[in-house]
Amino acid sequence: MSRKLVLVALLLILTVISGVSVFSQSPGGLSLAGTTGLITTPTGRIGWDESADLGMDIGYHFATDRGFGSNENIFSLTLSMFKRFEAGMTLDIQPVPADNTSDMLLSGKFLIFADGISGMAVGGNIQFLDIASETNSRTSSQIYLASTYSGNFMEIPASTTIVFGKTFNVESGWDNRIDFSMGFDMALFPDVFKGYVRWISEFANYSYSVDSVITNADTRGAFNTGLRIDILKGSSYKLVIDAVIMDIFDTGINRFSIGGTFGFSLR
């Protein structure tokens, strides 16, 4: 497994340094955590940072394993404000395998700078876990710095995101571990699909939520990969569909998520 992870890391590093040309736009879909991002990785951009002072994104993702034994329904609502701020709320409903395991995440992100598709942002979230349980409810939080770089990978338009952060239990305090993820968003056969279909992948040592039942990257890291389809590319509206496989190296093609983001500008 370690050799595979090294190859993935090298591929992503090559993406960062392989050019400076910028592709014209990014779908700006929501991650499972409800932030503008890849799969679990937030990007260094916000949803409507260049096109609207006020924009709204609505997301839904269904995540499960191949036997439908562990299911999650993830609903998100995210606002982009003044081309600098992003704030969102995510409700993670987990009816299987047990009741009273639903979570709520409140997130925020501030765009430090932006240049085309490249950008850097600081953000964080607070996670209210098992909110319906009288005995197991608890709170965790995450802070992070996300940097997104645009470039070409073997002449294919791409962007790479690197995240450093920290997840901690609010009641127990800090430990010595840090959050790290690295992911890329690359046009898939651009001559054929004309930028409508993208390949998104990431390696992360954290999940989108401490209480996720579909991936557990906390102690070993996980590689997630899939497709992002920008149906309304070039429109003033946003409709992005994601279909991804979760934790593919350890669980194989066994856990997956499908969902999407619908967005529009309010001002």
Residue 180 maps to which CATH number?
2.40.160.40
Q: Taking residues 152-163, what's their average pLDDT?
A: 83
pLDDT given for residue 1 in this prediction: 44
Q: From the CB of residue 175, how many other CB atoms can be counted at a distance below 10 Å?
A: 10
pLDDT given for residue 190 in this prediction: 83
% of the chain exceeding 70 in pLDDT: 85
Number of domains in the chain: 1
Query: 204, 31 in Cβ contact below 8 A?
Result: no
Q: What is the pLDDT of residues 190-208, one digit of tens each?
A: 888 888 999 999 999 999 9
Please report, as a single letter, which amino acid is at residue 177: R
Query: 119, 44 in Cβ contact below 8 A?
Result: yes
Q: Longest C-alpha distance within the chain, in Å?
A: 55
CA 194, CA 179: separation in Å to the nearest integer?
34
pLDDT over threshold 90, residue 18: no
CA 102, CA 47: separation in Å to the nearest integer?
26
Closest CA to 187 of 15, 9, 39, 46: 15
pTM of the predicted model as reported, rounded to 2 decimal places: 0.83
pLDDT over threshold 60, residue 27: no
15: Cα within 13 Å, side-chain hemisphere: 26
Instruction: Reduce the DSSP state of residue 179 to 3 states and report it.
Output: strand
CA 48, CA 55: separation in Å to the nearest integer?
6
- Structural domain that includes position 234: 2-265
Query: 109, 125 in Cβ contact below 8 A?
Result: no
Between 17 and 28, residue with greater pLDDT: 28
pLDDT given for residue 225 in this prediction: 95
Q: What is the pLDDT of residues 56-95, one digit of tens each?
A: 999 999 998 877 777 889 999 999 998 899 999 999 988 7
